[in-house]
Amino acid sequence: MKIIALVFAGGNKYSFTKLSKGITDFVVLEYPGRGSRFNEKLITNIDTLVEDLLPKVIEEIRNCQEYVIYGHSMG
């Protein structure tokens, strides 16, 4: 089963290093302005963020029979 993780506010893909250890199909989607996408403009509007992430999620699940979307809040 593929696990697609969404980082918490202020986090990045490295926040999931321990959790993803030993899981072969673990994907972390980072937000613009964070982590590996640091050079992109930071998005502060939830609708704009959804527009950015939705195509990435669709691409990840396109040929996937089973998947889980994982995310949590640190606040």
pTM of the model: 0.84
Average pLDDT for runs of 10 along the chain of length 75: 90 88 92 90 92 96 93 75
Residue 58: the pLDDT is 96
Q: What pLDDT shows up at residue 4?
A: 96
For position 59, what pLDDT does the model report?
95
**pLDDT value of position 74:** 67
Domain limits for position 24: 2-71
Instruction: Give residue 75's pLDDT.
Output: 61
CA distance 17 to 66: 22
For strand 2-6 and strand 26-29, is the pairing parallel, antiparallel, or unpaired? parallel
β-bridge partners, 5:
28, 70
Domain count, the chain: 1
